[in-house]
Amino acid sequence: MQAFDCAIVGAGPAGMSAALALTQGGADVIVLDRADRAGGQIYRSASSSPLPDAASLGPDYAAGADLITRFERSGAKHLAGADAWHIGDDGRILFSYQGDTRELHCREMLLCPGAMERPMPIPGWTLPGVMTAGAAQVMLKSDAVVADGAVFAGSGPLLYLIVAQYLRLGVRVAALVDTTPRRHYLDAAPLLPRAWRQVGQLRKGLSLLREIRAAGVDTYRYAENLEVIGEETAKGLRFSISGQPHEVSADTVFLHHGVQPNLNMTRAMGLAHHWNNAQMCWQVTVDEFGQSAISHVSVAGDGAGIVGADGACAAGRVVAQNMLYHLGRVSRTGRDRNSHADLYYLSSMKPFRRFIDCLYRPTEALRLPRDTETLVCRCEEQSLGDLRAGFEQGARDPNALKSLTRCGMGPCQGRQCGHVVTGLLAQWRKESPDAVGYYRLRSPQRLLTVDELGRYNTIPAEAAK
């Protein structure tokens, strides 16, 4: 088994930035990432775009290419295609690599599991043709594949970004159905003056909206009561505005209302989590250096609470300084000095984050299903009605409800239903999400064939390298 000073899981902005700082500090670093190329979701394929004109994706994406290049030259060992499925609090990582299970040990461990999109359990959300806006991004960045005549629905900067990117590339957009409620603008307005410190970020957001408006895309604002139309596949989106019904025809419906930390890795490890009421999601409990209650385990980036790509880069550098301190490679004062600027940046981001979180706070109507037939658990096809029946049979805990109904038992391991179940139980029990809790998760974090696991521990040491 190989041993390293530091192992980083996830080669997104946080993981790459941390690896850069750690190697600069003299540490021996390995970075595991299941993708073929570094970049994470946000900088996916940034250094190897299949697009004829990658500049159309914007300057932020181009900045990612630079980070990837620096990371690849850093001296950190990057194991592309390594899919970690067990992360132990003893510093052991088991991962799938080229069809086998491999194992490594490390003194310091950094988890950068990133974010995933918040599921939107509206009627019809399981129909073929309904995808997330992030899915549109992934297909565009990785494979230069786009959907003509799609409708984009929901709220938040990532939704406007992909619409703008489509328009720049000449892809027809059927409509943008914005669900940001009118009252959110009023609620967020008082937070605007302090958010002004991040004037650049605000300008970027405004220019996206202007760009969409200028392109003449049908834009509906203050939409409510979303419902995907279609029997076997999506045929369009139905919604209402101030009680007036509307309908847009489309074969493809892209949904988005924010992102949330990808929890399974930190949950399966047994780290403490708490409910973030501003972002309406669970997040792992770590200190300002990203360190968890287990001192050699740290978490950085969106996986530790949504901070965005720039925030993730800063957080990665901060966590790296703390890890170097643990390794005895910098003093405590050295750590504090080296991370001062990034910590200041992260705290200066907070007013802007608060403004964005308030403006684009996911509405309960889109976060929690309302029709009894709407599926909560896509894998095991458990609807709101099924869960309510389970609750009425005494299953008040997310795990009890899972045991009784199979909600959360399928291959996605609760990634799609977990937050919804917490939300529903909190509502039904009239308690806080923290009191309700979440699923007890376990490794593996991916499906593993009997064949692959069966070969574990029988692979000769040489071959395992």
Contacting residues for 450 by C-beta, under 8 A, at least 6 apart: none
Q: Is 253 a binder of another protein (CB under 8 A)?
A: no
Residues 98-117 binding another protein (CB under 8 A) are 101, 116-117
From the list 7-15, 33-41, 219-227, 327-335, the region that binds another protein by CB under 8 A is 33-41
Cβ within 8 Å of residue 354, ≥6 positions away: 191, 194, 195, 278
Question: Can residue 252 be called a binding residue for another protein (CB under 8 A)?
Answer: yes
Interface stretch with another protein, choices 120-128, 184-192, 240-248, 332-340 (CB under 8 A): 120-128
Nearer to another protein, 342 or 386 (CB): 386
Using the rule CB under 8 A, which residue among 139, 229, 343, 464 binds another protein? 139
In whole angstroms, how close is the CB of 156 to another protein at the nearest point? Answer: 16
**Binding-site residue total for another protein (CB under 8 A)?**
73
Residue 252 to residue 241: CA distance in whole angstroms: 21
Smallest distance from another protein to CB 117, Å: 7
Q: Is 372 in the site for another protein (CB under 8 A)?
A: no
**Cβ atoms within 10 A of the Cβ of 202, count?**
16
Closer to another protein by Cβ: residue 24 or 126: 126
Which of 121, 129, 181, 236 lies at the binding interface for another protein (CB under 8 A)? Answer: 129
CA distance 61 to 75: 23
Name the DSSP letter for residue 196. Answer: G
Pattern 393-432, another protein, x by CB under 8 A: xxxxx-xx--xx-x--xxxxx-xx----------------
Report the C-alpha gap between 268 and 299 in whole angstroms.
Answer: 14
Distance CA 289, CA 267 (A): 19
Binding to another protein (CB under 8 A) within 168-227 occurs at 169
Binds another protein (CB under 8 A): choice among 1, 73, 143, 337: 143
Instruction: Report d(CA 370, CA 376) in Å as an integer.
Output: 10
Nearer to another protein, 290 or 444 (CB): 444
User: Angle at which helices 398-405 and 384-392 pack, to 10 degrees?
Assistant: 110
Taking CB under 8 A as the binding criterion, the range among 126-134, 195-203, 220-228, 351-359 that sits at the site for another protein is 126-134
Q: Does 51 bind another protein (CB under 8 A)?
A: yes
Q: Which amino acid is at 6?
A: C
Among 62, 138, 389, 464, binds another protein (CB under 8 A): 138
CA distance 125 to 309: 28
Distances (CA, A) of 32 to 87, 234, 305, 402: 12, 37, 21, 31
- Hey, which residues does 178 pair with through a beta bridge? 154
Residue selected from 34, 102, 353, 419 as contacting another protein according to rule CB under 8 A: 34
For residues 319 and 395, which CB has a smaller minimum distance to another protein in the complex?
395
Distance of closest approach, residue 136 Cβ to another protein, in angstroms: 8
Q: Which of 445, 379, 361, 360 is nearest to 417 (CA)?
A: 379
Q: What is the DSSP string of 286-299?
A: --TT-B-SSTTEEE
Per CB under 8 A, contacts with another protein among 426-445 are: 442-444
Instruction: Name the β-bridge partners of 229.
Output: 236
Does the footprint of another protein cover residue 49 (CB under 8 A)? no
